[in-house]
Structure 1
């Protein structure tokens, strides 16, 4: 830099852009914040945009908030507690520090948009009433006593637009009452590896605003008792839903065709569906102690029921076990026929997320079977290497090459990590 120039002579936006490259380097962001006033604002923005709170650092962070304005830079707050099955702690003692500090945190963090709670059992709605700016709520590996408690929890966030429950258990309520005030109009609702009473939950949900405002939904996995209620929910959301991620599992049936009511889970009413993602049967077989049927029948049933003319993308997640089964099942041949049919001529991309070794022959066969789509540049293969994430969230795949290791598009087109 010429001697006559200084950092202050550069446009402010350019300086911010340079510091933005340190967004995942907290040590150097701290140094930048201490360098000069010009660096301070952008350094704090990146350093405190996402904050993770545990019992050991909660008090220290609260002390910082009392003496510094960094709270206004926090957009994502994540709390992590210990598991309640630890013998050295009493029942739910591990979350007492959360209930103690969250009310004060909510006052000091006025612009939090995402609140994520990990391993937090029996949440009390009163603990969260101060988070009026939260739009996205995430609960992971948590226990919610009953649907009424779940309902009260959602009602405590007036600005809520997205709710995600991953690895959670929601208990059954003898009677589900209507809350006052009503829950916010959700746009996204995700249930991933979670358990709840499907019938009473859906019956209650259909009386609430989210039933006709949902734009995105994840149901992974559905089991036989949940298929009919899930079908009622899909029918109710109708034209509002634009994105659906789904997987179905059921126990393996010996020497017989599994009695699974696929006809109750139709996509016929989703006339504005744009993105449809199918999870991996093998992923759930890997996670469940019982033997899971590896059939692709539900893929074909759901594809046949599609009526949306707005569909842009169809994606499939396939693991090693799936690849082994594909060569044995006639269901896959039916799927190939459907993808090549006039029903999906307006689809712009067919994605295959593959986590398996030695898949060259499978990909070659798939290209030959879908040669017309391949020639049109509509096939995309995403090879993933982190099997932990893909197995745990089989239907929650990234929607772009940015989050993947290697991406091979049809023919000569290639996209790699940004």
Structure 2
């Protein structure tokens, strides 16, 4: 009887195709020993811990088969809000909130590179689990986390000495106290990408980054600002980010006179490596946004290839100086500019049609359209 022999490369290719099908991967892992490594890689490549029950169960698995820990490269940790709401009934179903990570758990995960922590209150008992320093993690995301103090967040940050990518949204602390750089040594920074989303005390956080010179090697920056104070603080950070290549700036601002102006200190001119600039803003009733043209006039002209402008329009389309944008983005100045991608989203109560808004804006930006730069959508 002829025995069918499938090349190992074909087996690996087939199992890779099933990367998002846990049920099939489990069957593959039981088929033969040669299929087990590839199946395990996808089954355990990313692990989600969402309750105390799942955390303890995962720890038992690693304790019995520590070789699995070396496969895991992405770890998502979150506390089940549902568990807190449902109480004892939730605990019986294994969705109790996460309150403690076994002390040895992280030592069993030597190759985790991507770590996401969501909806977690970093109490002292939980926070101390990170204090040993995790050199493998290069990408950290915090969403909806709460710290006793900003100093506690800083301690967590310093637990990842090889961190390259940091993303923060809805992360808060009870107290803004922390040790200043003169009180603690400043480590070598590897940070290349920084995303500051909604729900952050941006001014306080950015002041610390500036004090630490933590952003001197940034190539990617995304920031959501909700006040003049946020933008002013961000200006100081940008002066240290001379190697910036990609910048995303969102400003949902308000002013007493409804005129939103860019602080004089805010400029991208020294970011001579900048290639992509994304600007997002809402236009509220009776607002004027001269900050948009001010920002474009302070953008570097050397290498900038793409500008994306997304406008959510509740007020007048005239709130932005479209003619000014045309003058600023003259091809004689921005010789490397390949694309101005403009997206305008109309709120239902605005009282005008997308066609009318598009026609008006295209009239102002006609010179850019003739040069083949403008790409525009109005919804």
Measure, in 2, the Cα distance between the counterparts of 1:352 and 1:123: 44
Q: TM-score with structure 1 length normalisation?
A: 0.74
Secondary structure at the residue paired with 1:99? coil
Measure, in 2, the Cα distance between the counterparts of 1:382 and 1:140: 31
- Per the TM alignment, residue 327 of structure 1 is displaced from its structure 2 partner at its CA by 3.1
> Residue in 2 aligned with 1:193?
198
> Residue in 1 aligned with 2:305?
312
> Residue in 1 aligned with 2:11?
15
Measure, in 2, the Cα distance between the counterparts of 1:352 and 1:4: 64
- Per the TM alignment, residue 197 of structure 1 is displaced from its structure 2 partner at its CA by 6.2
Question: Which ranges in structure 2 are unaligned for 5 or more consecutive residues?
Answer: 88-94
Task: Output aligned runs, 1:6-155, within 5 Å.
Answer: 6=4, 8-9=6-7, 12=9, 14-55=10-51, 56-68=53-65, 69-83=67-81, 97-101=98-102, 103-122=103-122, 125-128=127-130, 129=132, 131-155=134-158
Pair 1:97–1:297, CA change in 2 (3 A):
same
Measure, in 1, the Cα distance between the counterparts of 2:32 and 2:344: 48
Pair 1:334–1:383, CA change in 2 (3 A):
closer
Measure, in 2, the Cα distance between the counterparts of 1:146 and 1:317: 35
Secondary structure at the residue paired with 1:58? helix
Aligned length: 360
Measure, in 2, the Cα distance between the counterparts of 1:44 and 1:296: 53
Question: Which ranges in structure 1 are unaligned for 5 or more consecutive residues?
Answer: 286-291, 385-418
Coordinate RMSD, CA, aligned = 3.4
Secondary structure at the residue paired with 1:217? strand
> Residue in 1 aligned with 2:329?
339
Measure, in 2, the Cα distance between the counterparts of 1:4 and 1:354: 66
- Among 239, 249, 254, the alignment partner of 1:235 is 239
Pair 1:82–1:309, CA change in 2 (3 A):
same
Measure, in 2, the Cα distance between the counterparts of 1:338 and 1:150: 41
Measure, in 2, the Cα distance between the counterparts of 1:317 and 1:127: 41
Pair 1:29–1:87, CA change in 2 (3 A):
closer
CA contact under 8 A between 2:55 and 2:101: conserved in structure 1? no
Secondary structure at the residue paired with 1:8? coil
CA contact under 8 A between 1:154 and 1:183: conserved in structure 2? no
- Per the TM alignment, residue 115 of structure 1 is displaced from its structure 2 partner at its CA by 0.8
CA contact under 8 A between 1:296 and 1:332: conserved in structure 2? no
Measure, in 1, the Cα distance between the counterparts of 2:148 and 2:301: 38
CA contact under 8 A between 1:171 and 1:197: conserved in structure 2? no
Pair 1:371–1:25, CA change in 2 (3 A):
farther
- Per the TM alignment, residue 116 of structure 1 is displaced from its structure 2 partner at its CA by 0.6
Measure, in 2, the Cα distance between the counterparts of 1:325 and 1:245: 23
Measure, in 2, the Cα distance between the counterparts of 1:109 and 1:272: 37
Secondary structure at the residue paired with 2:201? coil
Q: TM-score with structure 2 length normalisation?
A: 0.81
CA contact under 8 A between 1:139 and 1:164: conserved in structure 2? yes
CA contact under 8 A between 1:247 and 1:281: conserved in structure 2? no
